[in-house]
Amino acid sequence: MQNHFVGRFPARQPPVVDLVGNVVALREPAGTLGLPVVFSAEPTVQRGLAADVWAR
């Protein structure tokens, strides 16, 4: 879950609180089970469909 995408919604309100809770609910058992968790980041400059949908 990237701040860039979550930042489009009001902080500490649905759907952000629900999304964060769901990510925690998935992340914690994954870590306990030793499953890999991959973190990603968006480039500073948006291109293609990402630019059409998310660019400010």
Indicate the pTM of the whole model: 0.64
Tokens of 23: 């990510």
d(CA 52, CA 24): 29
Domain ranges of the chain: 3-54
Taking alpha carbons only, the member of 43, 41, 6, 34 closest to residue 22 is 6
pLDDT higher than 60, residue 17: yes
Tokens of 24: 């925690």
d(CA 47, CA 49): 7
- pLDDT single digits (tens) 29-54: 999 999 998 877 766 676 777 777 76
